Amino acid sequence: MSAAPSTSTTHCNFPSIFDVALESYKRKTKNDLASHPLLPSLQSCNSPEAILTALREQIPASHLSQNHDDSLTKWVAPTVNVLHSFSETIGQGAGVVSISYSVTNNFSSNIYFQAFPPAAVIFTGIGILLSVGILHPSLVRPVLTSRGPRRPKMRALSETNLSRSLTALNISSAASRYMLASHQLRQ
Amino acid sequence: MTDMIVEIMVEVLTILAVTTEEVKCGRLSELILQLFYRS
């Protein structure tokens, strides 16, 4: 019972914090995760394996390479595993967020409420990332390779930023695993 | 603990947004460069 106040505070802040993050995502990528068609199928997945299978289907056939499964396992699988652990850790009560969004511009007063686990929303974001070609061979090759004198610098810069983002994602996963492990040790 | 998890999830979402935006821009610029250098 002593943990109740802290949990209820989190429940109050959680929707607003996540709402801001979703709005930021929508502004950057022009994709609305709350209404994305991939979300319902990911919500029905009960295990990291099922989620990875659903995400694997998002990779365009033209982007498939021999190493795409390795790339998927290398950075998507750890992230999915950690997020799935998070969902289980924070429980069903904290894992469900009510997010309001307007369905049409003409009827802005029509606000619909949909409840869904935030982890499923993030999995949807990963699915979108896979669908835009994150595992395309031209993007997963090493950043510092010799490309000849006519290769423009803009592309190398773009790949460096991409590499940095993926590294940040992996670091985030590693930090999350460490945090979960230390929490379990404390208990 | 839950607060930290929420913060991490928000961070992951932010990273996904940046990466998705970056990939989209990268693919677009690559297409433009390919069209430019092909001729």
Give the chain A residue nearest B5 (alpha carbons): A86
Please name the residues between 75 and 104 in chain A that touch chain B, using a CB distance below 8 Å: 79, 83, 86, 89-90, 94
Q: How far is CA A92 from CA A11, A48, A95, A115, in A?
A: 11, 17, 5, 11
Please report the pLDDT score of residue A167 as a whole number: 65
Q: Predicted ipTM?
A: 0.76
Give the confidence band of A26 by pLDDT, cuts at 50, 70, 90: very high
**Which carries the bigger pLDDT value, residue A73 or residue A48?**
A48
Please name the residues between 140 and 159 in chain A that touch chain B, using a CB distance below 8 Å: 150, 152, 154-155, 158-159
Q: Compute the distance between CA of residue A158 and CA of residue A81 in angstroms, rounded to an integer.
A: 28
Give the confidence band of A18 by pLDDT, cuts at 50, 70, 90: confident
Q: Compute the distance between CA of residue B5 and CA of residue A121 in angstroms, rounded to an integer.
A: 15
CB contact under 8 A, A86 and B3: no
pLDDT at A51 over 60: yes
Pick A159's closest partner by Cβ from B17, B18, B26: B26
**Which carries the bigger pLDDT value, residue A115 or residue A11?**
A11
pTM > 0.95: yes or no: no
pLDDT at A151 over 50: no
Specify the residue for token string 């799935």.
Answer: A84
DSSP per position, A81-120: HHHHHHHHHHHHHHH-EEEEEES-STTTT-EEEEEE-HHH
CB contact under 8 A, B8 and A138: no
Give the chain B residue nearest A83 (alpha carbons): B9
Contact list, B1 vs chain A (CB under 8 Å): 89, 183
By percentage, how much of chain A surpasses pLDDT 70? Answer: 43
Strand partners of residue A116:
A97
Give the confidence band of A70 by pLDDT, cuts at 50, 70, 90: low
Helix (H, G, I), strand (E, B) or coil at A154: helix
- Residue A76 CB partners (closer than 8 Å, separation 6+): A52, A55, A126, A130
CB contact under 8 A, A150 and B37: yes
DSSP per position, A21-80: HHHHHHHHHS--GGG-THHHHHHT--SHHHHHHHHHTTS-GGG--TTHHHHIIIIIHHHH
Contact list, B38 vs chain A (CB under 8 Å): none
Q: Compute the distance between CA of residue A25 and CA of residue A142 in angstroms, rounded to an integer.
A: 27
For chain A, what is the mean pLDDT? 67
